[in-house]
Protein backbone atom coordinates (compact mmCIF):
# COMPACT_ATOMS: atom_id res chain seq x y z
CA UNK A 1 0.00 0.00 0.00
CA UNK A 2 2.88 2.29 0.75
CA UNK A 3 5.80 2.21 -1.60
CA UNK A 4 9.06 1.85 0.27
CA UNK A 5 11.11 2.13 -2.91
CA UNK A 6 11.59 5.84 -2.59
CA UNK A 7 12.12 5.77 1.15
CA UNK A 8 14.07 8.88 1.89
CA UNK A 9 15.13 8.54 5.54
CA UNK A 10 13.38 11.80 6.51
CA UNK A 11 11.69 9.99 9.39
CA UNK A 12 14.99 8.57 10.61
CA UNK A 13 16.53 12.04 10.58
CA UNK A 14 13.57 13.79 12.16
CA UNK A 15 13.04 11.23 14.90
CA UNK A 16 16.68 11.80 15.83
CA UNK A 17 16.29 15.55 15.98
CA UNK A 18 18.04 16.28 12.69
CA UNK A 19 16.76 18.40 9.85
CA UNK A 20 16.24 16.26 6.80
CA UNK A 21 18.57 17.71 4.19
CA UNK A 22 19.19 16.27 0.74
CA UNK A 23 22.88 15.61 1.47
CA UNK A 24 22.06 13.68 4.64
CA UNK A 25 19.44 11.64 2.79
CA UNK A 26 21.82 10.98 -0.14
CA UNK A 27 24.62 9.88 2.16
CA UNK A 28 22.33 7.60 4.16
CA UNK A 29 21.07 6.08 0.92
CA UNK A 30 24.59 5.36 -0.29
CA UNK A 31 25.64 3.82 3.03
CA UNK A 32 22.45 1.78 3.27
CA UNK A 33 22.75 0.47 -0.29
CA UNK A 34 26.42 -0.39 0.05
CA UNK A 35 26.97 -4.10 0.53
CA UNK A 36 30.13 -3.42 2.50
CA UNK A 37 31.24 -0.81 5.04
CA UNK A 38 32.19 2.27 3.04
CA UNK A 39 34.79 5.02 3.52
CA UNK A 40 34.17 8.77 3.27
CA UNK A 41 36.11 9.12 0.01
CA UNK A 42 34.10 6.27 -1.54
CA UNK A 43 30.89 7.99 -0.50
CA UNK A 44 32.23 11.20 -2.05
CA UNK A 45 33.04 9.40 -5.31
CA UNK A 46 29.64 7.73 -5.37
CA UNK A 47 27.93 11.11 -4.97
CA UNK A 48 29.94 12.57 -7.83
CA UNK A 49 28.94 9.57 -9.96
CA UNK A 50 25.31 10.35 -9.20
CA UNK A 51 25.85 13.97 -10.16
CA UNK A 52 25.42 15.31 -6.63
CA UNK A 53 27.41 18.47 -5.94
CA UNK A 54 29.16 18.24 -2.59
CA UNK A 55 32.69 18.69 -1.28
CA UNK A 56 34.64 16.16 0.74
CA UNK A 57 34.63 18.24 3.93
CA UNK A 58 30.82 18.35 3.82
CA UNK A 59 30.80 14.55 3.47
CA UNK A 60 33.01 14.27 6.58
CA UNK A 61 30.89 16.75 8.52
CA UNK A 62 27.66 14.97 7.56
CA UNK A 63 29.12 11.60 8.54
CA UNK A 64 30.07 13.02 11.94
CA UNK A 65 26.53 14.29 12.45
CA UNK A 66 24.95 10.97 11.42
CA UNK A 67 27.38 9.09 13.65
CA UNK A 68 26.63 11.37 16.61
CA UNK A 69 22.96 10.50 16.25
CA UNK A 70 23.68 6.79 15.92
CA UNK A 71 22.22 6.54 12.43
CA UNK A 72 25.47 5.01 11.21
CA UNK A 73 28.22 3.04 12.91
CA UNK A 74 32.00 3.30 12.48
CA UNK A 75 34.40 0.51 11.77
CA UNK A 76 38.19 0.59 11.85
CA UNK A 77 40.05 -2.29 10.28
CA UNK A 78 43.67 -3.10 11.12
CA UNK A 79 46.02 -2.09 8.32
CA UNK A 80 43.49 0.32 6.84
CA UNK A 81 43.79 3.80 8.28
CA UNK A 82 40.44 4.85 6.93
CA UNK A 83 37.27 4.85 8.98
CA UNK A 84 34.51 2.83 7.39
CA UNK A 85 30.84 3.55 7.87
CA UNK A 86 27.89 1.23 8.09
CA UNK A 87 24.17 1.84 8.23
CA UNK A 88 22.82 1.19 11.71
CA UNK A 89 20.19 -1.45 10.95
CA UNK A 90 18.90 -1.40 14.50
CA UNK A 91 17.63 2.09 13.83
CA UNK A 92 14.93 1.96 11.26
CA UNK A 93 11.36 3.09 11.50
CA UNK A 94 8.02 1.36 11.40
CA UNK A 95 4.78 3.06 10.57
CA UNK A 96 1.26 3.19 11.84
CA UNK A 97 -0.85 4.01 8.79
CA UNK A 98 -4.42 5.29 8.78
CA UNK A 99 -6.43 3.66 6.01
CA UNK A 100 -8.90 6.54 6.16
CA UNK A 101 -6.86 9.72 5.82
CA UNK A 102 -3.50 8.06 4.98
CA UNK A 103 -1.83 9.76 7.93
CA UNK A 104 1.47 8.04 8.80
CA UNK A 105 2.76 7.92 12.36
CA UNK A 106 6.27 6.70 13.06
CA UNK A 107 6.54 3.95 15.65
CA UNK A 108 9.59 4.93 17.64
CA UNK A 109 10.88 1.63 18.87
CA UNK A 110 11.32 -1.53 16.81
CA UNK A 111 9.36 -4.36 18.47
CA UNK A 112 11.09 -7.08 16.49
CA UNK A 113 14.69 -6.93 17.69
CA UNK A 114 14.36 -9.78 20.21
CA UNK A 115 12.18 -11.75 17.84
CA UNK A 116 14.84 -11.47 15.13
CA UNK A 117 17.54 -12.67 17.52
CA UNK A 118 15.53 -15.74 18.48
CA UNK A 119 14.60 -16.45 14.88
CA UNK A 120 18.26 -16.24 13.87
CA UNK A 121 19.14 -18.74 16.59
CA UNK A 122 16.33 -21.12 15.62
CA UNK A 123 16.87 -21.03 11.89
CA UNK A 124 20.59 -20.24 11.70
CA UNK A 125 19.81 -17.38 9.32
CA UNK A 126 21.86 -14.21 9.25
CA UNK A 127 18.93 -11.81 9.45
CA UNK A 128 19.43 -8.71 7.31
CA UNK A 129 16.28 -6.77 8.06
CA UNK A 130 12.51 -6.70 7.99
CA UNK A 131 9.55 -4.64 6.92
CA UNK A 132 6.70 -4.02 9.28
CA UNK A 133 3.86 -1.52 9.09
CA UNK A 134 0.56 -1.47 10.93
CA UNK A 135 -2.69 -0.32 9.32
CA UNK A 136 -5.82 0.95 10.98
CA UNK A 137 -8.08 3.94 11.50
CA UNK A 138 -6.96 6.98 13.46
CA UNK A 139 -9.18 8.58 16.18
CA UNK A 140 -10.29 11.35 13.81
CA UNK A 141 -11.38 8.90 11.12
CA UNK A 142 -13.10 6.69 13.68
CA UNK A 143 -15.02 9.67 15.00
CA UNK A 144 -16.01 10.78 11.50
CA UNK A 145 -17.29 7.35 10.54
CA UNK A 146 -19.15 6.99 13.84
CA UNK A 147 -20.81 10.32 13.19
CA UNK A 148 -21.93 8.92 9.83
CA UNK A 149 -23.33 5.84 11.55
CA UNK A 150 -21.02 3.16 10.22
CA UNK A 151 -18.88 1.02 12.46
CA UNK A 152 -15.10 1.05 12.19
ZN1 LIG B 1 -7.28 8.88 9.68
ZN1 LIG C 1 12.09 -3.16 13.10
The string of pLDDT tens digits covering residues 15-45 is: 888 898 999 999 999 998 887 789 999 999 9
The string of pLDDT tens digits covering residues 78-125 is: 777 889 898 886 666 788 889 999 887 877 677 887 898 899 999 998
> Near ion ligand 1, which residues have CB within 5 Å?
98, 100-101, 138, 141
Instruction: Give the distance (Å) from ligand 2 centre to CA of residue 133.
Output: 9
Walk me through the domains of the chain, giving residue ranges and CATH numbers: 10-87 (1.10.10.10), 94-147 (3.30.1490.190)
Please state the separation of Cα 84 from the chain's center in Å. 18
Task: Considering every ligand atom shown, identify the ligand nearest to the alpha carbon of residue 91 and give its number.
Answer: 2
| Confidence (pLDDT) at 65 | 95
Tell me how many helices (H) and strands (E) the chain has.
Answer: 6, 6
Contacts 24+ apart (CB under 8 A), 25-29: 26/50, 26/52, 26/54, 27/59, 27/62, 27/63, 27/66, 28/66, 28/71, 28/72, 28/87
Instruction: Give the distance (Å) from ligand 2 centre to CA of residue 122.
Output: 19
From the list 93, 125, 135, the residue with the least C-alpha distance to 112 is 93
| Confidence (pLDDT) at 122 | 96
- Model-level pTM? 0.58
Amino acid sequence: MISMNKYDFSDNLKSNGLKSTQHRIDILNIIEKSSQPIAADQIFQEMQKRGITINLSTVYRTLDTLYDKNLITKLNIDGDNRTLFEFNRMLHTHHLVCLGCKKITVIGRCPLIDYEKNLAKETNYAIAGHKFDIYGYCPTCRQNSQAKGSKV
